[in-house]
């Protein structure tokens, strides 16, 4: 079977370490393996507007930011179609028909939506577009015949919804030929990386929560943020035994530290396990671990920052790439839209005798 990959991000801010570890890293791996027929990355501006209706400028300005973050992180726009969601207007048509296959109570049970409603204070002022975004996201996924999607853990309920719509469409319209493909989400095997915690140690790292280290942060900002990161509230004196679980500094080390970093920055320890053991026993201070993490992150972010600086000299080229890719994505979506309408029996041109 053909492999078609699709993922995306909302242009609500720059991309952060959570995006990298939860999804971007896998996207780059899949890109470099090259085992796909089509590969799309969607900048989900339409979805971003569902909770930012009055912040159009924020969404608009972040489209180019997210595109630059992709390229800086290692996405190659000659291998991957990076497009802008709102420029593929066919997606709205899919959504219009899919909405008839989903109940409101089903959407209200979606655990990610439930959490996001609370986080955004939408309990008594819930935009219909927002509660409906899993349906709209199912359109994005199904419209392109997506087989696999590397995503963070919060997206699993969205894929469940998309798969339900796939089945419901087939049951309702009994297409003679398959119109859609059953999509599968790929998440990191490491639970902590499916939902990298924010610097506060409470919520997931998220653009909307202000608890993120961004791929575009400069050295000074990274240093300040790491120094304030949550560790272990009971680890007060250096001699106190410390806790690794829930300690975001160690979670970030799990995600980004490589064995060679010890030889380079912290030669007293051979590997992360030795560092963790010392911290758990007591006698290792937070500052030392945080300084090590700063070095590790600097090593990771330096090449990304360098590529970003180059991108900034080619903004128009990047916009033109996005516009052209959106045109191509639109053609692909249109082809499947016609198939869908045929299957539903609403391609009225077929009624003409000739
Ligand atoms: P917003 O706060 O606007 O929703 P976000 O930071 O949650 O932004 P999204 O654009 O919603 O980012 O998510 C894009 C992709 O990145 C999704 O696949 C999502 O699961 C993944 N992702 C986002 N945050 C994290 C995180 N902290 N850990 C792992 N994956 C994440
Ligand atoms: Mg999100």
Residue 8's H or E segment, with its range, is: strand 4-9
Residue 2 pLDDT:
80
Residue 171 pLDDT:
98
* Residues of the domain holding 238: 219-309
Residues with CB under 6 A from ligand 1: 9-10, 12, 18-19, 22-23, 151-152, 154-155, 194-196, 204-208
Query: Using an 8 Å Cβ cutoff, are 13 and 62 in contact?
Result: yes
Residue 45: nearest ligand to its CA? 1
The CATH code of the domain that includes 261 is 1.10.240.10
Q: For the chain, how many helices (H) and strands (E)?
A: 17, 5
Residue 1 pLDDT:
60
The CATH code of the domain that includes 98 is 3.40.50.620
Instruction: Provide the domain count of the chain.
Output: 2
Q: What is the pTM of this model?
A: 0.95
Count of residues making up the chain: 354
- Same-domain check for residues 226 and 136: no
Residue 309's H or E segment, with its range, is: helix 286-311
Q: State the distance from the centre of ligand 2 to the C-alpha of 201, rounded, in angstroms.
A: 17
Task: List, run by run, the mean pLDDT of 10-residue segments along the chain (354 residues).
Answer: 91 96 95 96 98 97 98 98 98 98 98 95 96 98 97 96 98 97 94 93 88 97 97 94 96 96 96 97 96 98 97 98 98 98 94 87
Going 244 to 248 to 251 to 256, the CA torsion angle's sign is negative
Residue 208: nearest ligand to its CA? 1
Nearest Cα residue to atom 18 of ligand 1:
151
Residue among 242, 286, 284, 331 at smallest CA distance from 40: 331
- Same-domain check for residues 167 and 231: no
| Index of the ligand 1 atom closest to the CA of residue 194 | 29
Nearest Cα residue to atom 23 of ligand 1:
19
| First-to-last C-alpha distance (Å) of the chain | 36
């Amino acid at each position: 079977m053909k492999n078609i990959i699709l993922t995306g991000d909302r242009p609500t801010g720059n991309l952060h370490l959570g995006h990298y570890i939860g999804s971007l890293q896998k996207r780059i791996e899949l890109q470099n393996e090259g085992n796909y027929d089509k590969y799309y990355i969607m900048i989900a501006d339409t979805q971003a507007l569902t909770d930012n209706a009055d912040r159009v400028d924020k969404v608009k300005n972040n489209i180019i930011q997210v595109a630059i973050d992709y390229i800086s992180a290692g996405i190659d726009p000659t291998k991957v179609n990076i497009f802008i969601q709102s420029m593929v207007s066919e997606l709205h048509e899919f959504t219009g028909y899919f909405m008839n296959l989903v109940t409101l109570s089903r959407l209200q049970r979606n655990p990610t939506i439930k959490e996001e409603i609370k986080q955004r204070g939408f309990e008594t002022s819930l935009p219909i577009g927002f509660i409906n975004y899993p349906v709209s996201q199912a359109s994005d996924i199904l419209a392109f015949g997506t087989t696999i999607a590397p995503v963070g853990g919060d997206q699993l309920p969205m894929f469940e919804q998309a798969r339900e719509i796939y089945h419901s469409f087939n049951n309702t319209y009994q297409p003679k030929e398959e119109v859609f493909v059953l999509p599968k989400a790929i998440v990191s095997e490491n639970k902590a990386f499916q939902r990298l915690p924010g610097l506060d140690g409470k919520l997931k790292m998220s653009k909307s929560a202000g608890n993120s280290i961004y791929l575009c942060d400069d050295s000074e900002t990274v240093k300040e943020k790491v120094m304030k990161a949550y560790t272990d509230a009971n680890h007060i004196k250096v001699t106190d035994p410390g806790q690794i679980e829930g300690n975001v500094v160690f979670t970030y080390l799990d995600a980004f530290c490589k064995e060679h970093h010890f030889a380079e920055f912290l030669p007293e320890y051979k590997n992360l396990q030795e560092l963790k053991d010392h911290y758990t026993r007591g006698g290792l201070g937070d500052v030392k671990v945080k300084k090590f993490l700063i070095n590790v992150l600097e090593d990771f972010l330096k090449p990304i920052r360098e590529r970003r600086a180059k991108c900034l000299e080619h903004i128009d080229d990047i916009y033109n790439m996005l516009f052209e890719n959106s045109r191509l994505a639109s053609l692909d979506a249109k082809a499947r839209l016609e198939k869908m309408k045929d299957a539903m029996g609403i391609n009225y041109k077929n009624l003409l005798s000739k």
